[in-house]
């Protein structure tokens, strides 16, 4: 990734990909003071960029710093990069971080940098996985409670938990991890939200301790339009046996069925149902996937 073609937008300037460097005294590297966004594009079309950049600013606000650019500046900069490159399934990563001006713990006097980069990132699983589903492993790590961490922010520091959970799942032979919160409620996967289907009703955890994903919002919107009943509630592992279908939602993964969830004691199996398939089609159409 440090040798790609193309350009990066860094603090208002467009520079060659390989020139985008940070100093080792960067505050964010030491103390986790950074936030990011992930946006999808297809050819030169950007999807829901203003919503993503609004969340980007909100993420920084949760950490008590400010992204020093407006939503429209960020959207225009992204479109500029997108138009100058040749991306089929593009993935845009925006990052805002506290720089090297100050190295005390408080970032009160920090300088904030902002960067936008794009790379080619097709859907992460082959088409048959989008038909049959991924395998999930119950993580031993929990999503922190909202009084312990800025759980509704896309703060880079929180992704240490996602990385550890996902890595453990892979080491155990699974595709991804499912995380509970500190009150034993099902929260989400390592970088996507989760939905279940039971008796024709869509169910998704109430976002006590995790990011309210934009793909999750898309699914809720579409379900409403399609007349599919939806419940946001507290879902526990003990509810698993009555769930008929399960899927994940996220910018990078799209709508991804879950084939099974493995815990220490049980294996819960699911099959993509007609509601999952319908939502997948609507999502693929809206985001020009496949």
Instruction: Name the nearest CA neighbour of 20 among 122, 104, 97.
Output: 97
Q: Is 188 in the site for ligand PMP (CB under 6 A)?
A: yes
Q: Is 216 in the site for ligand PMP (CB under 6 A)?
A: yes
Q: What DSSP character marks residue 47?
A: P
Q: Is 210 in the site for ligand PMP (CB under 6 A)?
A: yes
Q: Which is nearer to ligand PMP, 26 or 162 (CB)?
A: 162
CB of 51 to ligand PMP, least distance (A): 9
Q: Is 191 in the site for ligand PMP (CB under 6 A)?
A: yes
Helix (H) / strand (E) element for 274: namely helix 274-286
Find how far residue 241's CA is from the centre of its chain: 27
Q: Are 135 and 174 within 8 A, CB to CB?
A: yes
Stretch in the footprint of ligand PMP (CB under 6 A) among 90-98, 134-142, 165-173, 189-197: 189-197
Stretch in the footprint of ligand PMP (CB under 6 A) among 65-73, 132-140, 209-217, 255-263: 209-217
CB of 261 to ligand PMP, least distance (A): 17
Q: Is 213 in the site for ligand PMP (CB under 6 A)?
A: yes
The site string for ligand PMP over 155-184 (x = CB under 6 A, - otherwise) reads -------x----------------------
Q: How many residues does the chain have?
A: 290
Q: Are 11 and 112 within 8 A, CB to CB?
A: no
* CA–CA separation, 261 and 160 (whole Å): 22
Q: Are strands 34-42 and 13-16 parallel, antiparallel or unpaired?
A: unpaired
> What is the three-class DSSP state of 96?
strand
- Per CB under 6 A, the list member of 114, 203, 215, 276 interacting with ligand PMP is 215
> What is the three-class DSSP state of 43?
coil
Stretch in the footprint of ligand PMP (CB under 6 A) among 66-74, 199-207, 243-251, 273-281: 243-251
Q: Are 105 and 22 within 8 A, CB to CB?
A: no
Q: Which is nearer to ligand PMP, 26 or 249 (CB)?
A: 249
Q: Are 91 and 252 within 8 A, CB to CB?
A: yes
Q: Is 153 in the site for ligand PMP (CB under 6 A)?
A: no
Interface residues with ligand PMP (CB under 6 A)? 38, 162, 188, 191-193, 210-211, 213-216, 249-251
């Amino acid at each position: 990734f440090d040798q790609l073609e193309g350009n990066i937008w860094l603090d208002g300037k467009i520079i060659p990909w390989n020139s985008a460097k940070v100093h080792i005294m960067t505050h964010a590297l030491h103390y986790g003071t950074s936030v990011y966004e992930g946006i999808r594009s297809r050819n030169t079309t950007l999807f829901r960029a203003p919503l993503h950049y609004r969340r980007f600013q909100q993420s920084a606000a949760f950490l008590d710093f400010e992204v020093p650019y407006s939503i429209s500046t960020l959207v225009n900069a992204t479109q500029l990069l997108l138009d100058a490159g040749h991306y089929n399934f593009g993935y845009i990563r925006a990052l805002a971080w506290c720089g090297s001006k100050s190295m005390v713990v408080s970032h009160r006097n920090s300088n904030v940098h902002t960067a936008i980069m794009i790379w080619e990132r097709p859907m992460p699983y082959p088409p048959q996985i989008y038909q049959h589903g991924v395998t999930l492993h119950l993580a031993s790590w929990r999503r922190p409670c909202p009084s312990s961490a800025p759980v509704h922010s896309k703060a880079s520091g929180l992704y240490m938990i996602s990385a550890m959970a996902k890595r453990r799942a892979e080491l155990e032979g699974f595709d991804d991890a499912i995380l509970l919160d500190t009150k034993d409620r099902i929260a989400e996967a390592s970088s996507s939200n989760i939905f279940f289907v039971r008796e024709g009703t869509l169910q998704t955890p109430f976002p006590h301790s995790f990011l309210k994903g934009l793909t999750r919002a898309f699914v809720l919107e579409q379900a409403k339009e399609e007349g599919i009943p939806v419940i946001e509630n507290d879902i526990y592992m003990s509810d698993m046996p009555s769930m008929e279908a399960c899927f994940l939602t996220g910018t990078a993964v799209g709508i991804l069925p879950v084939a099974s969830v493995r815990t220490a004691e049980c294996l819960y199996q699911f099959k993509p149902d007609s509601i999952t398939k319908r939502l997948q089609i609507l999502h693929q159409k809206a985001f020009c996937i496949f």
